[in-house]
Structure 1
Amino acid sequence: MKKIIILMSTLMCALSLSAQVVECAFTSIDEDIDHNKILYANTVYRVEGCIRVLPGYTLEIEPGTIVMFEKASKASLIVERGAYVQINGTLSELVNFVSDQKSFARQRGDWGGFYILGNAENNESGGIIELDEAECEIVGGGENNADSSGVIQYLNVMFSEYGMTGVGVGNKTVIDHIYVSQSADKGIRLLGCDARIKHTIVKDIAGSGYEFDFGDNSKMQYGIAVTVDTSAHRASGTNQLVISNNSNSEYATPLGRSIVSNFSLINPRFCGYTTLNNDFQNSVLYKKGAGGGVYNTVVTGSPRGLYFGDFSAMESADLALLNYSYNTGVDNTSPYDAVTTWPTNCALDIDDWILGTAIGACAQTGNDFYSLPYDLGYSNTICGATPSFLLGTTDLDDASFPASSDLDNGFFTSGSQKRGAINASVDWTGWKIWNEAAFTVCPENRMAPTGIANVANGKTQLSVYPNPANDIAYVEFNTENAGKVTVDVVNSLGQVVRSINTNTAKGKQSIEVETGGLSAGVYMVTVTFENGLSAHAKVMVK
């Protein structure tokens, strides 16, 4: 009798899962991708199980495509080392990754995650990072920081366990405008990467919104972490931004230096919630020997703004290997704290370090901490169904990008701007799905997609001629402003085979690229602008 009851219980559970699956037609992806493959916007797809894009092949996803992930198999999509992914979302036609459950039946953790694996250096033993999660084996890392895993733009990832995870992603991978929401554990996670990423949002992530680990050296600018749902927490702790050197061995070398700037970390207190579950812990958590730093960031409404989770992270800060400068904290229960007594080699205590009174290289600068009233300039519509991300009248200071600092390089946009990710000219509204529960997969029930206002170079048209090319190709495009551009030619293995860095004037550009000596085949040409946006075109080499 006991066996029959267990069997019936299992059957009822399976029937319950099946009853919640969307009821429109879809195309299954149930085998590893071992050939070049395109997913089209006029078809709904479902990933079933752990599906891998195998080395040597390219997965291309058209703008506006919806890819579902099977809940029953905890499905995940994995771009292996040596494979290439081209996700071509746009401002008006996003690419959406979502569980296969009906609207309002989806839950955090319905499916595994989206994994991008590359060959960048890390500090794990043997130089290889291995994960065993979402019922998939994940292996990444190597010795090539300039590795490219592809192009990922205007992607929404909803109701997964692990969100979007990069393992060993190199700095030639193009990633921008990523929205991850309603994850059970991770939002955007970079492990041993050397990635360069701009314009991201993580919303209602129950674990870590942004996470850096295993000797990560990524740089990110313009990120928003927002929690408007007080059920988005987990017992292991809910933090919006977590930086570790190596969670397995805090003193592993080489030391990771993850650098973020212009983030807005918006916690439930901002939305008026005065009583929170104790799982809600920190906006910024430094731990396990962390290196790098957080700059020009706004932290508001958190139980703790910045927290040092262990002595090894405090040692890094005291040795000037870990930074926190030009940041503004508003209405946080505790603006900053540490788990134990400060090392006292450079600074006397955490106050001495963070307020810049320490006599030594470890002293931070430009940090401000305020209680209410303070005119942050952020709209309270962020807490509702139709948010506005335009900056209003504000008391925020201007962002700072000092010479010879972590921010003094070609990646960070350093023009006139306020601290945080939100400004008065570009509204992020529409470039995401704020009511994810209501998102509709079936085409007959779907509303036309909407996008946010144009941003500089957001609609740049790129052409390559002659095409096919023999020895020389010319890359043509228009620029709205003078500045630096990078032209990369990437083969089908995701390897950058030609790279040109140049300064351009405003107007029409024509850049000569040598294609002689390249093997015959199709190549991706990517032009990356100084503001982090990019344009792409294909060229055939004879």
Structure 2
Amino acid sequence: MVKHLKNAGLVAMVAAAALTVSSCKKDQNNDGSGNFNRSLSAGFSNPTQSIPVNTDGVIQDNFDGNATDNIINLTSSKVWLIDGVSYVPSGKTLKIPAGTILSSGVDKNYTGTQTNPDTGLPETVTKPIHGVLVVVKGAKIDAVGTEALPIVFTSPAAPGSRVAADFGGIILLGSAQTNKPTTTVIEGLPTPPAGVDVSYGGSTTADNSGTLKYVRIEYPGFKLFADNEINGLTLGGVGSGTTLDHIQVTYSADDSFEFFGGTVNATYLVAAGGDDDDFDFDFGYTGSIQYAVGLKAINSTHSTSSGSSDANGIESDNDKTGSAATPRTKPTLKNFTILGTNANNTALKLGNRWRRNSGLDIQNSVIAGFPAGVIYEGGASGTYTNNILHAFAAAGGSVTPDNTGASANAYLKLGSALPTSFYAGPTAANYTTYSYSPDVLIPQATSPVGTRGAIAAGTAAGTTWLKTWTEFNAQKKVY
């Protein structure tokens, strides 16, 4: 996440009984790196094996019986461990079959320089990083799960002791257009070894970084140094030839999804319980996303900027200075359901924050449960069409809410239409896959009928596109 006023430090704590998710950027003494005993088999029923890498962390293509086909084949009969930062090299495809579980393996220490937040002076810091998968430009990932057998990237800890930042995250890098130089390196990573390119961007609109389909990413995120963080799924200059479909990110220690430029399109995305923004757009992203759900958790910690909440449903910048650099960031977003909390929670900020000269096009969506709703800042402008907006205050936003009731769902009437159905309490068990379908009698279902939000009005419980493959109670899940 590109933040330049954010406090340093990041930690996430999950209480097993209450399933209380916490990932905090406010504690300068705990950076979220874990520092607890990691049994490489903890929580897993299948045997574990580290994905083979060389001394530079480059994944090797010589262990699957065919070193010349440029395909690195994994099997679903093992839990594959990602040691430190592991790179899929250019020209290779990492193929992950349906039902495969992947996790963090052996932590690796990386040394770098950051500015001490107390003294303002540079300091050398060594930190362990665990489980970051990087697909560099020219490489591909072929991770095709199914509704019944999704592919899961998750914490290595046993059920009941999983925390945000247990798994570092997934980074895809491509050669599609951004508004930054093509030498720009992706944030969140240490200086790569010689010969490993972690830059992104180019001129190939239809660049193909592979496929992520029916994939879950659980407990990801990592703060390397100040203003230098890894998200659940990070996409840098990823092109429209890439397929992103049915992807869930839960309990991320930073953003759930962040798009740094690129033209990639996506469908059926879920962001739940993350610390920072559910969806973040920067550096000239111009793709389209349709059908997405963003959910905040009451007891997650949330990112701050200058002491105030900075946790939004959507955040979008053209770049960090708000320049007129082209292409201008302008995502096209359709059928989103972005939910904060049922009662006002000042740990959250905005349902949509369009700022720093960002463009926008958001249509047919439901945004509710945030202290303030939709705001345009610093020259942001675009199209806001046929959406339903609830906020707990009318002031402070560029778009006037349709409703400012003290109970968000008394207006929305999602799921069972009870006032507390969309988020009843602090536990993951209160996320239910049918609770985001609006009642057929409420505003989302009219003008035109049934088109607003991620799930059609009146959809029966158990039949939504969230069924089977998603998991909102990952703390207790046995793999």
Shorter-chain TM-score: what band?
Answer: 0.7 to 0.9
> In 2, are the aligned partners of 1:74 and 1:135 still within 8 Å (CA)?
no
State the match for 1:341 in structure 2.
none
> In 2, are the aligned partners of 1:176 and 1:198 still within 8 Å (CA)?
yes
Structure richer in helix, relative to its length: 1
> In 1, are the aligned partners of 2:366 and 2:444 still within 8 Å (CA)?
no
Task: Sort the Cα spacing of 1:335 and 1:259 in 2 relative to 1 into closer, same or farther, 3 A.
Answer: farther
Aligned-pair identity (%): 23
Gaps of 5+ in 1: 1-12, 339-349, 356-366, 402-415, 442-542
> In 1, are the aligned partners of 2:393 and 2:404 still within 8 Å (CA)?
no
State the match for 2:361 in structure 1.
293
> In 2, are the aligned partners of 1:129 and 1:167 still within 8 Å (CA)?
no
Shift of residue 370, structure 1, vs aligned partner? 5.6
State the match for 1:523 in structure 2.
none
Shift of residue 200, structure 1, vs aligned partner? 0.6
TM-score, normalization: structure 1? Answer: 0.65
* 1:323-402 map, 5 Å: 323-330=383-390, 332-335=391-394, 337-338=396-397, 350=398, 354=399, 368-369=402-403, 371=405, 373-379=410-416, 380-383=420-423, 384=430, 386-389=432-435, 390-397=437-444
* 1:265-280 map, 5 Å: 265-268=338-341, 270=342, 273-274=343-344, 276=345, 278-280=346-348
- Residue 212 in structure 1 maps to residue 281 in structure 2: yes
**Partner SS for 2:313:** strand
Task: Sort the Cα spacing of 1:144 and 1:391 in 2 relative to 1 into closer, same or farther, 3 A.
Answer: same
Task: Sort the Cα spacing of 1:242 and 1:61 in 2 relative to 1 into closer, same or farther, 3 A.
Answer: same
**Partner SS for 1:250:** coil
The one-letter amino acid of 2:315's match is: V
TM-score, normalization: structure 2? Answer: 0.73
The one-letter amino acid of 2:455's match is: I
Task: Sort the Cα spacing of 1:233 and 1:23 in 2 relative to 1 into closer, same or farther, 3 A.
Answer: closer
* 1:35-184 map, 5 Å: 35=61, 36-70=71-105, 72=107, 73-124=129-180, 126-135=181-190, 137=192, 138-161=198-221, 162-184=231-253
Task: Sort the Cα spacing of 1:335 and 1:258 in 2 relative to 1 into closer, same or farther, 3 A.
Answer: farther
Residue by residue over 1:99-139, the C-alpha shift from the partner in whole angstroms, topping out at 9 and shown as x without a partner, is 21111211112232101111100101x23432241546542
Which whole-Å CA distance do the structure 2 matches of 1:382 and 1:132 have between them? Answer: 34
* 1:460-471 map, 5 Å: none
**Partner SS for 2:171:** strand
Residue by residue over 1:66-109, the C-alpha shift from the partner in whole angstroms, topping out at 9 and shown as x without a partner, is 00123733220011111111111101001000121111211112
Shift of residue 267, structure 1, vs aligned partner? 1.0
State the match for 2:455 in structure 1.
422
Shift of residue 163, structure 1, vs aligned partner? 0.2
**Partner SS for 2:37:** helix
**Partner SS for 1:289:** coil
Gaps of 5+ in 2: 1-32, 62-70, 108-128, 193-197, 222-230, 424-429
State the match for 1:537 in structure 2.
none
Structure richer in strand, relative to its length: 1
**Partner SS for 2:329:** coil
Task: Sort the Cα spacing of 1:336 and 1:181 in 2 relative to 1 into closer, same or farther, 3 A.
Answer: farther
Which whole-Å CA distance do the structure 2 matches of 1:136 and 1:43 have between them? Answer: 31
State the match for 1:433 in structure 2.
471
Task: Sort the Cα spacing of 1:76 and 1:418 in 2 relative to 1 into closer, same or farther, 3 A.
Answer: same
State the match for 1:185 in structure 2.
254
**Partner SS for 1:93:** coil
Which whole-Å CA distance do the structure 1 matches of 2:97 and 2:363 have between them? Answer: 35
State the match for 1:259 in structure 2.
332
Across the aligned residues of Structure 1 and Structure 2, the Cα RMSD in angstroms comes to: 2.5
* 1:306-317 map, 5 Å: 306-308=374-376, 310-313=377-380, 317=381
The one-letter amino acid of 2:360's match is: G
State the match for 1:7 in structure 2.
none
- Residue 28 in structure 1 maps to residue 28 in structure 2: no
Q: Which of structures 1 and 2 has the larger relative contact order (alpha carbons within 8 angstroms, sep 6+)?
A: 2
